[in-house]
Amino acid sequence: HSLPEEMKMPKRKCHVVVDSTVEALIGALRDNPRGVLIYKDEIDSLLSNFNRYNSSDEGYFLSLFSGTPFKYSRKSNNEHIFLANPYCSIIGTTQPGRLGEQFGGKRMMNGFSSRFLKVYPEIDKMPSWNDTAMPDSVLEEWERIIRKVVAATPSTDQEGKATSIELLFSQEAKLRVIQWKDEVNNKAYAETDSDAVRALCGKLETYLVRFCLVIQIMHCICGESGMDKIEPGTAELAIRLTEYFRNMESRIAPEIETGILDNRFTELLGNLRDSFTTAEAVREALQLGISESSVKRFLRDGGRGFVKKKSHGCYRKI
């Protein structure tokens, strides 16, 4: 028997997405309008696949940060998807030696790197093992909180669509946030010539507002305050959290800069003139054991921030 025409394909509800290809992610965002999380134990598996199959992948993730409305057409089944308010969080881990390749060069200049909040704790020695366990009461309380967050359902309009909840800043909280912008963030922006630092200043302003929203809602979920406005205490906590991530970025930036080039490409650039051609780079690279395709890809990607294209087949070192 054929299916009735009015039947709709069931939507796959989820919070965490495993398949992070753009097509799979867009399908998940369509079925989960409240947003999803991409979790990668090794974030390199996500970043290294950008632009492998579609040159617009990285650009899509750049715009996804701002929740930009997005239209997508699946040629396989002639499906057209419109995401009015896409939201996706990404969390993952990596090694310090991989930071340059993952977040350096062009990704530092175009704001891709500053879209990621980074944590780089000072660990001088390996922690010891012991048999201490998290108390069951703490685990149960945390599960209760998270389930309450997930179950929190916004109101719906007459058509059954979820309506958003708008939280405004209290006057005192608004003045505190403005003070931070004028006295801290604007000052940091004015005192640097680094495009990367300036890009970070812009993204931290976005994160500050988001931190205010998350902290206020969590206070409400835990019964510590209401959900009618952003309170002064919330703004203060959000500012402290924002400055924590600024400090983390300042610690991690040298790792990104020094890890951008491996020894072979460092030697390659050292052997080339300030201005050089593709043929000269290929000839020198072959002597260092670097394949022609690798060096051409290196040049095409802007030498990870160390090379600028002058004209077709001609480059100069920055």
Q: Mean pLDDT, to the nearest integer, of 22-47? A: 88
pLDDT for res 15: 86
Give the tens place of pLDDT for each residue, 64-112: 898 888 888 766 667 788 888 899 999 999 988 788 888 887 787 788 8
Instruction: Give the end-to-end CA distance of the chain in Å, rounded to a whole number.
Output: 67
Q: Is 79 helix (H, G, I), strand (E, B) or coil?
A: strand
Give the tens place of pLDDT for each residue, 209-246: 999 999 999 999 999 998 889 999 999 999 999 999 99
Tell which wins on pLDDT, 11 or 80.
80
DSSP conformational letter for 305: G
Residue 160 pLDDT exceeds 70: no
Q: How far apart are CA 295 and CA 301, in angstroms?
A: 10
Residue 248 pLDDT exceeds 90: yes
pLDDT for res 207: 97
pLDDT for res 52: 61
Tell which wins on pLDDT, 109 or 316.
316
pLDDT for res 308: 86
Separation of CA 317 from chain center? 29
The CA dihedral of 205, 206, 207, 213, to the nearest 10 degrees, is: 110
CATH level 2 (architecture), domain 263-317: Orthogonal Bundle (1.10)
Of 103, 97, 88, 87, nearest to 48 by C-alpha is 103
Q: Which two tokens stand for residue 311?
A: 């004209």
pLDDT for res 256: 77
Q: Where are the domains of the chain?
A: 16-93, 164-258, 263-317
Q: How far apart are CA 113 and CA 61, in angstroms?
A: 11
Q: Mean pLDDT, to the nearest integer, of 267-278? A: 88
Query: Is there a contact between 17 and 28 (Cβ–Cβ < 8 Å)?
Result: yes
pLDDT for res 6: 63
Strands in 88-93's sheet, in edge-to-edge order, are 16-17, 36-42, 88-93
Whole-prediction pTM: 0.74
